[in-house]
Structure 1
Amino acid sequence: MNSSSQNSSEESQWNPCPSSPYGVQVFFVVEAVNLLFGLPVNAWTVWLISHNSHSIQASEVFTLNLALLECVYSLLSFLRPLNYYVIKSTSLYTFNLFFYGLLSAGRPLFQACVCLERYLGVVHPVSYLRYNSVRTRLCTLPLVWGLILSLCVCNIWKLVLAFPILFLLLLLLQAYCCVRILQVLCQPGPGDGTRKHKVDPAKKKAFITVLVIQVMMVLNYLPMVLVVPLRGRLSRHSYVCQLLPASLSFSVFGSFIQPLMYLMRRGKFPSKAKG
């Protein structure tokens, strides 16, 4: 009886829904699609930045780290279905929790760093020029990666409120950046007078970048934020086997958006069809 109870307990850890696997299977399908589209684009981005004829630009530091993180996640994502269907190891399940925290914390944090870059460049250009160097970015990277790894540990300990709080804070931060950049774009420049106000193309690109990141942030992580308060109000089966895998599927998808924007900005990916 003790051995049977132990096996049942171990099985519930790596497979909490043996009688209803559809939610988990949908999550695996989304990860496979993310691997198919995200890995080539992110790998291309890493290759372009690291093989640049000139030194790495300051604006590429966070993009490079995000692309590397997405590549690592994509390459190791096969471990989750492998453990689910074949290995069935509690230790590997714990590693997958840490591994998923890497994406859940890393992507929004690096996206927030990109938004802050664009915000400073448009709203506070003097400060941006003063600190616009690779060295400044490298000084912030240990802080970002330290926070990412701390949140990975929180995911192992199943501190369910850690990630929703992070997502809400970053959503508010990016929304503020987006609104302030839009305000600057709507203000006429000096000497415009009554003439038609012309929008600075660089500022317009900054606004589009922040807006796209904000939309992706909402699509990726708002479902997870909305699901967490329902944890004690629904049955365990409905929450763990249906709602939770659905919200996690939203958080995984979209790894190709940020590198695709970078490639289009570099002219490596056509933004308009050529006639």
Structure 2
Amino acid sequence: MWSRYSFYSRTNHTLDPTSSPELYNATHKTFSVFDGCENMVEGILFDLIFQTFNIVIGFPANILVLAILIRNRNEPTTSDIFLGCLAFMDAYFGLMVPIIFLNLFYWQSKEGWMALKFSYGVKDTSGPLFLSCICLDRFVAVLFPIAFGQLKASKYRIGLSMFVLCLTFAYASAKTVGGLPNFEKVFTGEILATFAWMVVCNLSILWALKRSRGAGKDEMHPMKKKAFKMVLSLLAIIVCNYLPPVALFPFQDHYSPLAFTCYVQPVGYAFLNISSSIQPLVYLSRLEKVPFLPQTLQKMFCCKEKKENSPA
């Protein structure tokens, strides 16, 4: 008997997902994505809906982010390398969603299960680590401007991005191979560490920007006010997307195995997965003008700016 989440979940179970097709053929068991959770399908449906949102909204949004970053490559910001890597990985994860569904309901091939595990490994690692790199970049820029000026060269960010990519592919490869004892604790430790770092980092940035007002001034400098709102929105996303798994996964032993598999795990990962759509949408919403969009949508994005700039 194989648990439904033994192939759908990212955690390691006794039965490795890559062996699912053979077991399926051997037992002639009718395949079901809800196998083992037939009476507790709400959490799995919740995750599947979020997965669908990623291909419908997240994939084109990430492609648009990549196109904008390439278009602005002559005038890049220091975080563009990290943003580009994050958008590329999220686009890849979104593109895997229809392949995942096809394999779940139709192909059921060994290669499909391995590709599924690899894509989950990429998402597990690349998102938190590249967001942490963005937080680090802004943390140094705001709190240590002199050091930031000395480390502005792209080679440092390229080197850090290559290191993160190596960690990502190493983690995803290990997850694909499977069979490593207590491997799921690697993800739990990673998500706890990166979440704590991102929260502390962004709170420090907000505190520094808040204190940077001139003496006797009630208003913040416009550029710093823009940075303040940007970091505040990033902090809100980090809390919304990463707090559920951070709050739920370390207490796995306190849930029954069925409740954790059918409810806690899919819901926690659903919030993590939807970051592939939320992150590019927030980036696009911060732009004064979004290129490559139809004129009607451009007016919707730019109308607020025009109203603000129009004479009283």
TM-score category (smaller protein) = 0.7 to 0.9
Residue 17 of structure 1 aligns with which residue? Answer: 36
Partners of 1:111 and 1:213 within 8 A in 2: no
1:176-215 paired onto structure 2 within 5 Å: 176-188=200-212, 192-193=214-215, 195-215=216-236
Residue 8 of structure 1 deviates from its aligned partner by 4.6
User: Counterpart in 2 of 1:64?
Assistant: 84
TM-score (norm 2): 0.75
Alignment partner for residue 50 of structure 2, among 4, 8, 30?
30
Q: Give the equivalent residue in structure 1 for 2:258.
A: 237
Q: How many residue pairs were aligned?
A: 270
Which residue of 16, 20, 26 maps to 1:7? 26
Judged with a 3 Å threshold, the aligned counterparts in structure 2 of structure 1 residues 142 and 12 are, in CA distance, closer, same or farther, namely farther
Given the alignment of the two structures, is residue 103 of structure 1 paired with residue 127 of structure 2, yes or no? Answer: no
DSSP 3-state at the match of 2:288 = coil
Task: For 1:71 and 1:96, locate their aligned partners in 2 and report how far apart those are by CA, in whole Å.
Answer: 15
In the other structure, the counterpart of 2:146 is 126
- 3-state SS of 1:231 partner: helix
Residue 228 of structure 1: aligned partner: 249
Q: Structure 1 residues 256 and 133, CA, compared in 2 at 3 Å: closer, same or farther?
A: farther
Q: 8 Å contact 2:37–2:262 — kept in the other structure?
A: no
Shift of 1:13: 11
Aligned residue for 2:275, secondary structure, equals coil
- Give the alignment of 1:47-58 within 5 angstroms: 47-52=67-72, 54=74, 56-58=76-78
- The question of whether the paired residues in 1 share the 8 Å contact of 2:65 and 2:280 is answered with yes
Deviates further, 232-241 or 68-77: 232-241
Cα distance in 1 between the residues matched to 2:151 and 2:200: 21
Q: Does structure 2 conserve the Cα–Cα contact (< 8 Å) formed by 1:108 and 1:217?
A: no
Change (3 A) 1:165 1:207: farther
Please say if 1:89 is aligned against 2:113.
no
Q: Verify the 8 A CA contact 2:100 2:116 in the aligned structure 1.
A: yes
Query: 2:66 maps to what in 1?
Result: 46
1:133–1:12 distance in 2 versus 1, CA, 3 Å: farther
Alignment check: 8 A CA contact 2:188 2:250 kept = no
* Percent pairwise identity: 24
1:55 offset after TM fit, Å? 5.7
Q: What are the superposed Cα offsets for residues 86-144 of structure 1, whole Å, 9 maximum, x if unpaired?
A: 11234422321221121121111111111111111111111111111222211111111
In the other structure, the counterpart of 2:199 is: 175
Question: Conserved in 2, the CA contact under 8 Å of 1:63 and 1:259?
Answer: no
TM-score (normalizing by structure 1): 0.84
SS in 2 for 1:255: helix
Q: Distance in 2 between matches of 1:186 and 1:147?
A: 35
Q: Is the Cα–Cα contact under 8 Å of residues 78 and 137 in structure 2 kept in the other structure? A: no
- Counterpart residue number, 1:136: 156
Q: How far off is 1:27 after superposition?
A: 1.8
Distance 1:164 1:111 in 2: 17
SS at match of 2:276: coil
CA distance in 2, matches of 1:53, 1:210: 23
Deviations 1:156-196 (A, max 9, x none): 4371111121111112212222222223223256xx44x22
Q: Residue in 2 aligned with 1:258?
A: 279
Q: C-alpha deviations, 1:19-38, integer Å up to 9, x for none? A: 35553333222111122111
Give CA deviations for 1:38-92 in whole Å, capped at 9, x if unaligned.
1222111111222337264433111111111111111111122111111123442
**1:151 counterpart residue number:** 171
Separation in 1 of the partners of 2:226 and 2:204?
Answer: 14
For structure 2, the residue ranges without an aligned partner over 5 or more in a row are 1-21, 291-300, 308-312
1:53–1:95 distance in 2 versus 1, CA, 3 Å: closer
- How far apart, CA to CA, are the structure 2 residues paired with 1:4 and 1:51? 49
Q: From the superposition, tell whether residues 176 and 14 of structure 1 become closer, same or farther in structure 2 (CA, over 3 Å).
A: same
Give the 3-state SS of the residue equivalent to 2:184 in structure 1.
Answer: coil
CA-based RMSD of the aligned residues comes to: 3.0
Q: Which runs of 5+ in 1 are unaligned?
A: none
Report if the CA contact (8 A) 1:11-1:88 is conserved.
no
Secondary structure, in 3 states, of the residue corresponding to 1:78? helix
Deviates more, 1:240-249 or 1:262-271: 262-271
1:117 aligns with 2:137: yes
